[in-house]
Amino acid sequence: MKRIVVVSNRVGLPAPNSESSGGLVTGVHAAMRGRGGLWFGWSGKVTPSPSDAPEIVQAAGIDYATIDLDQAAYNEYYLGFANGTLWPLCHFRLGLFEYERTQAEAYEAANERFARALMPLLRPDDLVWVHDYHLIPLACALRRLGCQQRIGFFLHIPLPPPRALAILPRHKELFSSLLDYDLVGLQTVEDADALRAFCRQNLGHLVMPDGTLLGPQRRTATGVFPIGIDPQAQQRIAVKSAKLSTTRRLLDSLGGRKLILGVDRLDYSKGLSYRFRAFGRLLGAHPEWRSRVTYLQIAAPSRIEIARYREARLELERQAGRINGKYAEFDWVPIRYINRGFTPKTLAGFYRVAQVGLVTPLRDGMNLVAKEYVASQNAADPGVLVLSPFAGAAAELDSAVIANPFDIDALAEALHTALTMPVEARRERWAALHAAVEHGNAERWQQSFIAALEGVSALPRAATASR
């Protein structure tokens, strides 16, 4: 079996009982658990004059190799181009998109540095699997250093249509560097269609009926690989965690009221302020729910150095204050808004006892919280998932209560529907959701991507063209 080398900006270094650092780390960990391999990337540390020689630690069959970033790279590459330019662009938020040429250059330079540090660690028959928008040009940088190994790329976030991508200066240069990969994987059919359309329309490349892109140097296969979780492990943890003192304390504090639960990184793409408004609208339109339901929103701070993220946080504080001020009673607070992360164990217990899982991003590559919520339920008395159609997960989880988060009234009605749904209907919907989560699990995601990467024709473009 060939060794897998995973490359991602952030590496999920082993740290027992740590709070999650987001979906990529959750998904990659679940996928590497059985197979092992090397995981290379940024340590999460910012140091002056960091070395290009990675620090290596081993745990549970995985070698973790990391390098630090310096302050300028952190500001310009990570906060700047990756999260201030590419993140809003890919989440269809063109109004929030910002561009600085020096940041684009720092992004290229960071990718070159990652390539230089990784190259000495590679063995001839490794399969290199690069993750996410931070590292789009990594294969190009590796190829320049002579890397011949198969390299695959997986984009965890959405890809907007070509006309939106075209607002990025030098978009052709950036996205044509995807053609240095042997395989590019995306979360949904819509994302894969956007990539193929961009390559055809903006780059002028031929796209084969099977989705293969014919670039100038090589053939690049493309495919849809929806990321998943380990549903059986999630169910086991949830059953155990339901008995934890944290879960018991939560239940005691609710005093028999129903619970709506949201769990997210605090990110403007997750649509939290729309949810708060919809919950307020529910209490206004259906007074029978006052004092009978509590909404717990857990929102772990994320990228707080970026002004938009601080503004999103302030907006949520304002809204929670307004709604609580209007509807709270001396013995009931409608919205409990918690601005920190919790361990996966604690979250699993909360998922299990929540009657409604509220997952309504404005745009999301997949959204693993939706899958974790489903996998944590009690089959005999399951909760209801309220899901945005703009989460990649909606393609698989279409038995959820689907509600457009921009339509506050529709979202409030969806909450009412979920809270009043009879048990037979809940069981029926949950069975379909659970089957989908089981089917699209983390193991299948990893195995199908690696099988596709091993299976792609390694022939250079020139050789195939002349056959």
Closest distance of CB 343 from ligand ADQ, Å: 7
Amino acid at 169: P
| Positive or negative: CA dihedral 446, 203, 457, 146 | negative
Which residue from 27, 349, 382, 383 is in contact with ligand ADQ, where contact means CB under 6 A?
27
Where does this chain touch ligand ADQ (CB under 6 A) — which range of 70-78, 203-211, 361-369, 432-440? 361-369
How many residues does the structure list for the chain?
A: 467
CA distance 78 to 58: 26
Return phi, psi of residue 377, to 5°. -80, 160
CA nearest to 152, candidates 59, 218, 198, 204: 218
6 binds ligand ADQ per the rule CB under 6 A: no
Which residue from 5, 11, 168, 369 is in contact with ligand ADQ, where contact means CB under 6 A?
369
Select which of 29, 156, 191, 230 is catalytic.
Answer: 156
396 binds ligand ADQ per the rule CB under 6 A: no
Residue nearest to ligand ADQ according to CB distances in the complex:
23
Residue with tokens 């089981």, as numbered in its chain? 438
Question: Hey, is 183 helix, strand or coil?
Answer: strand
Select which of 68, 182, 364, 434 is catalytic.
Answer: 364
- List Cβ neighbours of 106 (8 Å cut-off, separation of 6 or more): 72, 73, 76, 77, 80, 81
Closest distance of CB 20 from ligand ADQ, Å: 4
Could you confirm whether 156 is annotated as catalytic? yes
Which residue from 192, 368, 394, 403 is in contact with ligand ADQ, where contact means CB under 6 A?
368
Which residue from 68, 180, 182, 372 is in contact with ligand ADQ, where contact means CB under 6 A?
372
Which residue from 68, 364, 396, 413 is in contact with ligand ADQ, where contact means CB under 6 A?
364
Which residue from 31, 147, 300, 323 is in contact with ligand ADQ, where contact means CB under 6 A?
300
376 binds ligand ADQ per the rule CB under 6 A: no
Tokens, residue 318: 């304002």
Residue 26 or 176 with smaller CB distance to ligand ADQ:
26
86 binds ligand ADQ per the rule CB under 6 A: no
Which residue from 18, 19, 167, 248 is in contact with ligand ADQ, where contact means CB under 6 A?
19
CA distance 324 to 327: 5
User: CA angle, 380 as apex, 379 and 385 as ends, to 5°?
Assistant: 55
- Contact (Cβ atoms closer than 8 angstroms) between residue 183 and residue 224: no
Tokens, residue 206: 């031929």
- Is residue 367 left, alpha or beta, with left meaning phi > 0 and alpha meaning psi from -120 to 50? left
366 binds ligand ADQ per the rule CB under 6 A: yes
Closest distance of CB 32 from ligand ADQ, Å: 14
441 binds ligand ADQ per the rule CB under 6 A: no
Closest distance of CB 317 from ligand ADQ, Å: 16
Could you confirm whether 364 is annotated as catalytic? yes
User: CA angle, 109 as apex, 88 and 215 as ends, to 5°?
Assistant: 75
Binding site for ligand ADQ (CB under 6 A): 19-20, 22-24, 26-27, 156-157, 227, 263-265, 298-300, 341-342, 347, 364-369, 372
Q: Hey, which residues are catalytic here?
A: 156, 364
